[in-house]
Structure 1
Amino acid sequence: MPQLDPSTFGTQLFWLGICFVALYLVMAFAVLPRIAGTLHARAAQLDDDLAEAEALREKAETALAAYEEALAEARSRALTLAQNMRAEVQAETDRQKAELDAKLAEQAQAAEAAMSKARDEAMLGLSDAAAAIVGDVMDAIGTAKADDAAVAKAVKTVAAE
């Protein structure tokens, strides 16, 4: 094998040294700075992205807080509106109930007065009919001729008891 020939070791070591130095110089001054630049750019981009994400998170939290505040305010207004509406409906219901109670009480009094008047008229008519029947019965029995005034007075006395 020609690589293991000791007479060519010197030139092989010379070219090996030149290749290593050249490779070292290329790597040190060309490739590694590009890789370092790429890594720095990538780190800077990550930092920018993280900063932007943090800013967006804070903005989202602010928007969420504003939304929750608006929602609480709307809920409060809706509750107040519902309470006011409930109070208005209750007041209207109470007013209508009072009107209906008054109307029913008035109708009950009118009906009671009409019933009392009808009862009094019926009793008056009944008293007259009872007096006529008593007079006819006394005439039919033949005891004595009944005095209409006395019979009416007796019937009224019995009816009053």
Structure 2
Amino acid sequence: MLVCFGALYLVLSFIVIPRISNTLTARAETLEGDLAEAEKLRRQAETALKAYEDALAEARSRALTLAQEIRAEVQAETDRQKAELDAKLAEQAAAADAALKASRDAAMAGLKDAAAALVGDVIEAVGSDKVSDGDVKKALDRVAAE
């Protein structure tokens, strides 16, 4: 029995325990390597995330700047077109006012002539002396001025 235990001790000491020790050492080294690789990958992922966030912030900033530039360009074009339209409408309004004034002046001149003729005819019909057209126009101008 002593020989069996001695042989078992020798087999365990020189064969089994060194193999188990080598396996445990290899597993520990593999585990340490895997942990180091995982830490390296975690740092790379953090760096990539930071780069992504920076790129996203830059893209947002550029988009905002571009939107503001486009808004300013559109506003400037709108203001320019509005100014052109206002000027064109002012010209048309001035032309319409001038045409209206000319029409009113022509109508008033015709109305004065008709009124002068009518007043002259009324004065004659009433039986008074004939009054000249010039005197009637002067009287009408004086009344219109009051």
Return the alpha-carbon distance in structure 1 between the equivalents of residues 117 and 56 of structure 2.
Answer: 88
1:133 partnered with 2:130: no
Aligned to 2:130, the other structure's residue is in SS state coil
What residue ranges of structure 2 are gaps of 5+ in the alignment?
Answer: none
Deviation, 1:52, is 0.9
1:46-97 per-residue CA deviation (whole Å, 9 max, x = no partner) reads 1111111111111112222222222222222222222221221122112112
1:96 partnered with 2:81: yes
Aligned to 1:58: 43
Aligned pairs (5 A) from 1:6-155: 15=1, 17-155=2-140
What letter corresponds to residue 143 of structure 1 in structure 2?
Answer: S
Q: What's the TM-score, normalizing by structure 2?
A: 0.89
- Structure of larger gyration radius: 1
Aligned to 1:146, the other structure's residue is in SS state coil
Return the alpha-carbon distance in structure 1 between the equivalents of residues 29 and 103 of structure 2.
Answer: 108
Q: What's the TM-score, normalizing by structure 1?
A: 0.81
Return the alpha-carbon distance in structure 2 between the equivalents of residues 123 and 158 of structure 1.
Answer: 14
Deviation, 1:147, is 2.0
> Across the two proteins, how many residue pairs are aligned to each other?
146
CA RMSD of aligned residues (A): 1.6
Return the alpha-carbon distance in structure 2 between the equivalents of residues 160 and 110 of structure 1.
Answer: 27
- Deviation beyond 6 Å, 4+ runs, structure 1: none
